[in-house]
Every structure is written in C-alpha cells, then in structure tokens.
Chains A and B, each alone.
Chain A
Amino acid sequence: MHDDEDQLALAAFRSGDRHAFIGLVERYQRPVYNAAFWVLRRPDDAADVAQTVFLRVIERLDDYDPQYRFFSWIYRIAVNEALDVLRRNGREEPLDDDIDIPDIPGGDPESVLARAQDAERLRRCLLRLPTPDRIVLTLRHFSDLSYDEIGQVLELDEKTVKSRIFEARKRLRALVAPQMVHAS
C-alpha cells in the first residue's frame, strides 16, 4: 500500500490542497467500491457508498490518527457504511443470477474460457455466502490485507480473523466443490 504517499496527501489536504484529496480518491476508489460491493452485492448501492465514504473521510479527518494506516481506516469506513445501508434496507436483496463472466486475460482461448467459467462459478458462490464470510474473504483475497490489517478494519483480534477466514473458506468450498470442473 502507499502509506507514506497517503500521509503526505493528507497533510497537503489539511493545509488546503484539495487536489491532494482527489489523488487519494483516485487511489482508493476501486478498493473502496469493491469493499462496498461485496457487502451490498449491488453496483449502484456500492457506488453510492463509495462516494459517501470519501465525504465521510473529509468529515472525520480530525479523528484520523496518522500512526495507523490510512487504507485500514478508509476500509473500515467503507465496510461500516455498507453495513449501515444493508441495515437500513432491512434485509439483503435477492441475488441477481445474471452476473457477467469476468474477462481473465492470458492463455489459449479454451483455458481462458474454462478459467473464466470457474471464476464465475466461484464468484456466484461467494456472493451467496453470509455477509460476514464475504467481508473477511474479500478483504483477504481481493484487497490483499493481512490478518492483522483485517483485524484493524473489523476491530477483531488476529486469532478471530484467522478463525473466521478458515470457516468462511470451508463454507465457500462446500458451495463451490460440486461445480468446479476445472478445479485442478
């Protein structure tokens, strides 16, 4: 992650350089959007949450302690904002089955297609997992956060994070195993 750059940008923004904040938005819009998407599972809601997150960052900038990583803080805000939206909606929306197959470059067309199909199956299964499982797995596998960093984001100790990820992976595998034709 870009911790030093983040701190510099924040310092510049605090002294009135608005462009410095736009740099942070450009850097974190994708991970923040994805963090929100994997909680909410709806692109529109995720986009709304991502925007809100950056405005919240401005609003709460005085609360940020620079001795901790900025991305952990912004992830924390993103996950909480998304969970708030989920709570406000009352219940999770039914999952839309018409999910597009992601394009995975590289290899011959047949293996690309096979891998894309496996990725799609796995993605569908992931979307069907309970929200807490989705959150820990996506923070670990998509955002590439360490157990310790996930602990900071979710306010959990490292041992609990490990345990939750372990259980979530087992549940994911139970869902996906019968469908993975190109597993190995």
Chain B
Amino acid sequence: MTTARTHSDASSLDADARTELMHAVLDGTADADRVQVLDALLASSAEAAEEFAAWKAMFRTLSAIPMAHPPEGMVAAISAAVATPAPTDRNKFSNTNQLFTDTQVIASGQAQTRRPPSGFRAFFRRPSRSESSQEFGQMNASRKIWAGGAVAAVALGIAVFATGYPPKAENLTGTVAPAERYRAPQAGSDAIKLGEPAATSTAAAPAAATGVEAAKADASRMVASKTDAQLMAEKADASRAVAAQADASRMVASKTDAQMMAEKADASRAVAAQADASRMVASKTDAQMMAEKADASRMVASKADASRMVASKTDAQLMAEKADAARAVAAKADASKADASRAEALKADAQLQAERAKASKASN
C-alpha cells in the first residue's frame, strides 16, 4: 500500500470506522495494511492519537482485571457427585441427574428419548420451554399410566360389587332364563331324557360370555393405557383372570349361593390385593423419590456449607490483604513524611548556614 493511499484512507474514515480500526489493531485482528492506515491517522491527527491512547489504556486495564477464583471445594464437590454410586443401577451417573433436577425414577429413559442433535447449533441450543414441558409430560405420562392402572383395578373391584359380577343365581333370571326353566320342575329320574341336561350348560354359556366380554373390555381399556412391557405381563394376567372368571361363571350355574358368595369374596380380595399392590408400587416409587430428594437436599446443603466456608476464608484473606495494603500505604506515607521532614531540616540547616555565612561576612 502506498503512503499516499494510506493517508487518503486514513483521512476518509468517519468516527465509527476510526474507532473500529483502533479496536481491530488493539485486538490484534487488523492486517498490516490496516495497521499502516492507523499509523498514518495517528501521525496526522492529535485527536485520533488521544482517542487511541484512551482505548489502549482501557484495553490494558481490562486485561489487568484478574479472573476470580472459584470456591476451593468445587472440584471436591463435583468429584463426590460423580464418584458416589447411584442409589439404583439404571444409569452409572444417575445420582448426578438427581442433584439438580426433579427425580427421574419413572422417566429413567429420558436421556435416550432426547432428540438427536442436528449439527452444532442444534446441540448448543438450549431446550425450549416446550421441549422441557414435553420431557416433563413424558415423565408424568408414565406416572399417569401407573395411576390409571391402579384406578382401573379399583374400578373393576367396585364394579364386581356394584353389578354383582359374577352374578348371583337369583340375578340370572332373564339372562339365564333357559337355565331356570330347565331347573324348576324337578322331574323324576324316569322323566329325564338322556341328552337334555346338556342344555343347562349350553344355556349358561351366554351369561358367562357376557361377563367375559365385559372383563375383556375392561382388560383392553387397561391395556390400552400401558407400556408394551407392562402390556405383555398384564395381558397374560388378564387372560388368566378372564379364563378364571369364565370358569367361575360356568361353575356359578351349578353351585350354591354360599359357594358363590365365597368365590365372590375371593374375587374381591384378589381385586383388592391387586389394588394394594398398585398402591404399594406407587408408594414405593414415592418413597424412592423422597429419599432421592432428601439426598439431593443434603448434597446441596453440604455444598452451601462448603461455599460458606470458602467465602469466609476468602473474606479473611481479603481482610488480611487489605490490611497489608493499608500498612504498605501507611508505611509509604510515613516514609514520605520522614523524607519531607528531613528535606525541611536540611533546608533549615542550609538557611541557617547561609545566614551564618552572611553574618560572618557582614562582621568581616
């Protein structure tokens, strides 16, 4: 770049461009040509030179501001968080997840369900509030599935009591009317024709089938709101339950009321036990959550204690440093004062000697 052109470039700069050039040079991002332009500018303008000196001082002072030190216990606290074995074995660092977030007992697979990154911007982008809500929603959904299952089980139990399923014998009128008709007139053995009793069992079938269908529908509704793994297990259970209920229904037609009551009680107990099991699962989960929350609280508290200790230590250091600085300044002031006193004494001596010399000269 020629000198003439450099001067021309320098003089054509407006205030902002000039400042920008100064910043680029001070940042170390300006190339050799731009440095030359600035040199020319500084040589030709006292105002620009003054501005550059001010910026330079500010940059220098900025670089003189020291970085603060983090609290001393930080590495230890993080080490402890990383090294402590997780309360459950679902994830090797799951205890760290528990420290600052809500429990993920149910949503343990959350990390795996997170959307894959699509480039740098994607993973640097903070999850939006809606994404966070989605994650939270997923966690709630799992919880809801458990709760829904428990409620459905209780509802099934209530339905058994309320609707009288499996039905009592007296309630079979209508639905099991053919069975009544065939049973009512107790004919003698001679009147019985071979083959006809078979109608009893075939007539009971529609009632059992209705109950089975209802149970199946209930089971289907429960199944629809659960996960695949649970579904498999519960489907098997439901099938067994349906089969048992069907058996029970078939037996109902030929058993006494007492037996039916006993079986109904057994069925109710089974439903209640199922509900209890669900409640136990839920309360166990709550207990785990409480325990994990308590652990997290304890860790946070100990972290706070560590921070407070470090802060008080830092304060003490600062006080000591301030005191040292004050002492240094005071000592310097004292020294200056002493120097001034000595200078005054010397001056007084010199004056005295001058006066004496003057007096002796006058006397001579």
Binding site for B on A (CB under 8 A): 16, 18, 21-22, 25-26, 29-34, 37, 43-44, 46-48, 50-52, 54-55, 58-60, 62-65, 68, 73, 76, 80, 84, 100-104, 109-110, 113, 115, 118-119, 122-123, 126, 137, 140-142, 147, 152-153, 155, 165-166, 169-170, 172-173, 176-177, 180, 182-184
Contacts and interface: CB of A to CB of B under 8 A. Distances in A.
Contact of B328 (A32, A44, A109, A147): A109
A44 B114 contact: no
A180 B57 contact: yes
Contacts of B75: 22, 25-26, 29
Given A25-B75, A51-B303, A170 B19 contact: yes
Interface of B: 19-20, 23, 27, 29, 53-59, 61-71, 74-75, 77-79, 81-83, 92-93, 96-97, 99-100, 111, 114, 117, 119-121, 123-126, 303, 307, 311, 318, 321-322, 325, 328-329, 332
A141 B114 CA distance: 35
Given A30-B70, A115-B64, A59 B77 contact: no
A25 B96 CA distance: 15
A18 B19 CA distance: 49
Contacts of B71: 43, 47
27 contacts: A22-B79, A25-B78, A30-B68, A33-B74, A43-B71, A55-B81, A63-B114, A63-B123, A65-B120, A76-B124, A103-B66, A113-B329, A115-B61, A115-B64, A118-B57, A118-B61, A118-B64, A137-B62, A142-B62, A147-B29, A153-B124, A155-B121, A165-B23, A169-B23, A173-B58, A180-B58, A184-B53
Contacts of A68: 120
Please report whether the interface of chain A is mostly helix, strand, loop or mixed according to DSSP.
helix
Nearest to A24: B78
Please report whether the interface of chain B is mostly helix, strand, loop or mixed according to DSSP.
helix
Contacts of B120: 65, 68, 152
A64 B123 CA distance: 7
A114 B20 CA distance: 28
Contacts of A184: 53-54, 56-57
A49 B202 CA distance: 74
A142 B67 contact: yes
A165 to B, nearest CB: 8
**Closest CB pairs A-B (n = 8):** A33-B70, A183-B57, A63-B123, A141-B62, A184-B53, A80-B126, A55-B96, A102-B66
Contacts of A119: 61, 64-65
Contacts of B318: 100
A184 B92 CA distance: 56
B67 A31 contact: yes
B114 to A, nearest CB: 7
Contacts of A153: 124
B77 A51 contact: yes
A29 B70 contact: yes
A48 B310 CA distance: 13
A142 B62 CA distance: 8
Given A147-B29, A166-B19, A47 B111 contact: no
A58 B77 contact: no
A30 B325 CA distance: 26
Nearest to A102: B66
A175 to B, nearest CB: 11
Contacts of A100: 318, 322
Contacts of A33: 68-70, 74
A139 B322 CA distance: 29
A16 to B, nearest CB: 8
Given A51-B74, A101-B325, A118-B64, 14 more contacts: A18-B83, A26-B75, A33-B70, A34-B68, A46-B70, A47-B74, A50-B70, A58-B93, A103-B66, A122-B61, A122-B62, A141-B62, A142-B65, A166-B19
